[in-house]
Amino acid sequence: MIESQEDKMAGRRLEELRLYLRQQPVMLALLAVLALVFFLAVTVLSRTYHAQRDALGNRWYSRGVGDLSARRFESAVTEFRAALLYSRDNYVYQLNLAEALIGLKRTGEASAYLVNLWDRQPEDGLVNLELGRIAGQKGQTEQALRYYHNAVYAAWPGDQEVKRREARLELIEYLLSIHARAQAQSELIALEENLGEDPAQQERVGDLFLQAQDYEHALGAYHLSLRSDRHNEGALAGAGMAAFQLGRYPLAERYLQAAVAGNPGDAQSADRLKTTELVLRMDPFRRQISVAQRDRNVVAAFATAGQRIKSCGVPKGAVASQPNLADRWARMKPQISEQDLRRDPDLVEAAMDLVFGIERQTSATCATPVGTDLALLLIAKLHEGN
Amino acid sequence: MNHEPAMAAKPMNGHSPKALLQSVFREERFFLILSVFIGVFSGLAVVCFRFAIGWCRLYLLGSGAVLSPTRLLLAPTLAGLVIAVLVIHFFPLTRGSGVNQTKAALYIYNGHIPIRTAIGKFITAALAIGSGHSLGPEDPSLQIGACLASVLGRKMRLSRDRMRLIAPVGAAAGLAAAFNAPISAVLFVIEEVIGRWTAGILGSVVLSAVSSVVVMRWFLGSESLFRIPAVQLERPSELIAYSILGVVGGLASVLFSAGIATLRPWCKALPRWTQYFQPALAGLLIGIIALLGAPQIMGAGYEAMDEAMHGRFTWQFLALLAGLKIVATLLSFVSGTPGGMFAPTLFVGAMLGAAVGGAEHVILPHLSGSPGTYALVGMGVLFAGFLRAPMTSVFMVLEVSGNYSIIVPVIVANTIAYVISRGLQPIAIFDLRTRQDGLELPSMEEQREEGILRVEDAMRPVEGPVLDAQETVDQALLKAEQSAADDLLVRLRPSGWNSVTKQQLRALAAEGKGEAAVGSLLPILHIPALHRDHPLETALRYVDRWPLVPVVSRVDFRQLEGVVSQRDVLERYREFGEG
């Protein structure tokens, strides 16, 4: 009896408990506890899952970096793609993938990744630089300039100044490639101010000034470069070229002689030196020469011009109203001798005017002048307006 | 007498803790709280499901981006064999995508989905997708969510009405977590599963979807399924280019649907023993396609979609991928392999979109849309054309892209695709599959497009005079006698309507009330009035109680536009049924 009563009591308690548990607030509380337990379990699972994926991503990334530095771009692309399977939005993985794609010349794909990266970090220097390069290749000048400028002022890891300088140098090269010389000169001047005295950098800047046809600044940059290393053949040749273009032939001769002596294989400098020497030798208006030498130079120049006009024939396109240069030369020819020139100094001017006229005319209508003809043309330019 | 104790007890009960708890936990409120839990549990389950797919992919196909030929062939084939055994012997309800099963739970099984279905779906779908079968995780997530909701609802002993609605609540949670897009998930469930907007269900669906997305983002991050490239539409004339995409997408949708319509019954009709090998054969064929140079078609294919959006492939290859994905998905799906259709649909749409965009760029290089823009629009196009969820398709693209400037191309292209698909393939894919499974579930598309009868369709002009409430019974009777109509309307003052019959008037006159105003003698104060735009169903509530129900203007309630009677309504319904 007692047992059955106890059983009944236990059964009633159990029933009460069951009813209590069926109450909605209690059920919700139990549900909350269950959710918490489930949540914790999934947290553990999630950590394992993510740790494994991170490890896999890093492993593939490391392989990719190795292949990228060894310029095995195809493998690098595959490996970076594999790394991205485990960390799709990883900035570094994407950037490296873009670099590898650029290596494979798949600029369209690379550009898509880079634009995505740019959206996330518009101040990233490398991304801007790469986008600038791609836009430049595609002929999208406006965009290219925007990205290059961003790169110049962007945040760079490591030595920021050096990276920015490199970016600006690349921008200048791009500007020169699209013949935007004025913009290139501005950038070069800005660059020069922050350049320091690194001879190699100064030489590179000198080369760029040369390309931008800013010969004065080019000469200045080469001077600075040569101050640190006066045997720098590249700088000597560049300085020679700049001085040559500026019409400072004695200076050009000095630089070019040193350049050719240092590097006999530099055919361009040797050629230019030859022209410079001819200019210096043939110029009748040089102050240092005697009157006799001047007259000899005039006679020689007149003869050279005569040869040039004969080899060219009647210059095509000559204005009909002007007397024919060949006729003028033929009429003047009998008067051009050292004695006549000594007797009539005004004849020197007249003869050289004709010579310069012939050389200018023929340079526009005949084959490019070389040797003495080129020297005479340069002398003409040198004394233009005098 | 009886009211007094009740009135006296009410304030006391109102303040007692039990009463307070009861008022807080009224079923509709409890249902809302439960929806949050459903969202949390569904989110957690979907996170685990994603982990399972990731692990299956890793261990079955390898960790690299380039897969070994042996694994490409063996993984989907052997997984197919295992899946077939599991489905046939242990989880027979896990076949297919899961959307129809959820609808069936709502309309047939009073919200009941066995827990075994969720377990089976989790295992078999993870195995299928992870091994490279061309299926997606969204529909299984939807079904897992629905199943968890059903289990919770049963444990909480919800009423039958609530139980019926609980599966869609879980479905929205599952889909939202899988897509990381709560708005699209809510819309899809409303558009394709429930089929109607009601405040009661909408709150629960939204709560569950949002809570599941919060849980999912907690574990998997908030990044969207794709990295969306810059979207731009410079000239409105470019909409023509997107219209072409709509046409191509519509035709592709029809092809896709027709493939399922033809091949699924054929596969089901094959001898039973072949069902053990159908998923394996599908897996082998998919492996061969991958081996021949298109591994992108394996699995859900989100990585490939992402790459297509970023201009990785040529337009010719993109078009090829779209075609091959249709083939691969057909193979996986008709073989009975469990898995979803959402991801393959998005894949085909993305590839087709990027291909059409690429081809158009070759012809018209000045078009401003990037391959990514076309791929995004393409996803919406296939969603609208193949899954026939036009509203979800628009919002899905907006939600995934987070860019509202794409809305016009999306609407244009999706509408075209939807119209073409609807015209060439009258039965929507979900309805088609339901009918193939021998079920008769309501077609949401048909419901949407079903014509609604309104009061104006049954309304007729007033016959006979309209009496004024101030008129005497004698005056009214005189007018009534001159009319053939038995029932007459009475205009009340200052407003309202009533009705009276000829017999009533005669009786009142006989009782000596001929000088009394008609309005003062009528047994009820007034009868309800209808408006011509009311659904005809509304009229049914009144026409059996009053022989004539007035139809009045919404501007002036005293202006009578017509009347309806029970006979008019029934006649109209009969004509509608016949026609």
Interface size A-B, in CB pairs within 8 Å, comes to 81
By DSSP bridging, strand B466-468 and strand B487-491 are parallel
Task: Answer yes or no: do B241 and B208 share one domain.
Answer: no
- Report the pLDDT value the prediction gives residue A385, as an integer from 0 to 100: 58
Task: Answer yes or no: do B206 and B263 share one domain.
Answer: no
* Within a domain: B231: no
Task: Answer yes or no: do B140 and B257 share one domain.
Answer: no
In this prediction, what percent of chain B has a pLDDT beyond 70?
92
Which of A204-218, A258-272, B323-337, B493-507 has the highest average model confidence (pLDDT)?
Answer: B323-337
Chain A residues within 8 Å of chain B (Cβ atoms): 22, 24-25, 27-28, 31-32, 35, 38-39, 42-43, 45-46, 49, 52-53, 56, 60, 78-79, 81-82, 85, 88-89, 108-109, 111-113, 115-116, 119
Task: Answer yes or no: do B396 and B501 share one domain.
Answer: no
For A113-124, what is the mean pLDDT?
87
Q: How many domains does chain B have?
A: 3
Task: Answer yes or no: do B179 and B307 share one domain.
Answer: no
For B241, residues 6+ apart whose C-beta sits below 8 A from its C-beta are B356, B357, B360, B364, B367, B369
- Report the pLDDT value the prediction gives residue B6, as an integer from 0 to 100: 35
Task: Answer yes or no: do B82 and B215 share one domain.
Answer: yes
Which residues does chain A have within 8 Å of residue B312's beta carbon, measured at their own beta carbons? 109, 112
Which of A360-369, B13-22, B234-243, B470-479 has the highest average model confidence (pLDDT)?
Answer: B470-479
The token duo for B474 is 């004698």
Backbone region of residue A71 per phi and psi (left: phi > 0; alpha: psi in -120 to 50; beta: other values): left
- Report the pLDDT value the prediction gives residue A17, as an integer from 0 to 100: 67
In this prediction, what percent of chain B has a pLDDT beyond 90?
38
Task: Answer yes or no: do B288 and B367 share one domain.
Answer: yes
The token duo for B123 is 């295992």
Q: Is A314's pLDDT higher than 70?
A: no
Chain B residues within 8 Å of chain A (Cβ atoms): 21, 25, 30, 33-34, 37, 40-41, 44, 47-48, 51, 54-55, 58, 63-66, 152, 155-157, 215, 219, 223, 227, 229-230, 303, 306, 309-312, 372
Q: Which CATH number is B497's domain given?
A: 3.10.580.10
* Residue with the larger pLDDT of the pair A94 and B444: A94
Q: Which of B19-23, B33-37, B140-144, B324-328 has the lowest mean pLDDT?
A: B19-23
Q: Which CATH number is B180's domain given?
A: 1.10.3080.10
* Residue with the larger pLDDT of the pair B127 and A346: B127
* Within a domain: B122: yes
* Residue with the larger pLDDT of the pair A276 and A45: A45
The domain ranges of chain A are: 179-282, 290-386
What is the topology classification, in CATH, of domain A179-282? 1.25.40
What is the nearest CA distance from B48 to chain A, expressed in angstroms? 7
Task: Answer yes or no: do B281 and B429 share one domain.
Answer: yes
C-alpha atoms less than 13 angstroms from C-alpha of A386 in its C-beta half-sphere: 12
Which residues does chain A have within 8 Å of residue B54's beta carbon, measured at their own beta carbons? 49, 53
Task: Answer yes or no: do B72 and B140 share one domain.
Answer: yes
* Residue with the larger pLDDT of the pair A74 and B190: A74
Sole residue written with tokens 């990785």: B312
- Report the pLDDT value the prediction gives residue A113, as an integer from 0 to 100: 85
> ipTM score here?
0.77
| pLDDT range class, residue B415, cuts 50, 70, 90 | very high
Strands (E), A191-253: none
* Within a domain: B227: no
Burial B296-324 (b: 16+ CB within 10 A, else e): bbbbbbbbbbbbbbbbbbebebbbbbbbb
Model confidence over A20-40: pLDDT tens digits? 666 777 888 889 999 999 999
* Within a domain: B438: yes
- Note down the domain range covering B365: 236-442
Task: Answer yes or no: do B149 and B250 share one domain.
Answer: no
Please tell me chain B's helix, strand, coil percentages from 3-state DSSP, rounded to the nearest 5: 70, 5, 25
| pLDDT range class, residue A360, cuts 50, 70, 90 | confident
Q: How does DSSP classify residue B389?
A: -
Task: Answer yes or no: do B57 and B178 share one domain.
Answer: yes
Q: Is B85's pLDDT higher than 60?
A: yes
DSSP assignments along B80-109, one per residue = HHHHHHHHHHT-GGG-S-SHHHHHHHHHTS
- Report the pLDDT value the prediction gives residue B398, as an integer from 0 to 100: 86
Three-state secondary structure call for residue B547: coil
Task: Answer yes or no: do B399 and B517 share one domain.
Answer: no
- Report the pLDDT value the prediction gives residue B356, as an integer from 0 to 100: 92
* Within a domain: B437: yes
Q: Is B5's pLDDT higher than 50?
A: no
Which residue in the set B34, B219, B229 is minimally distant from A115, CB to CB?
B229
* Residue with the larger pLDDT of the pair B238 and A77: A77
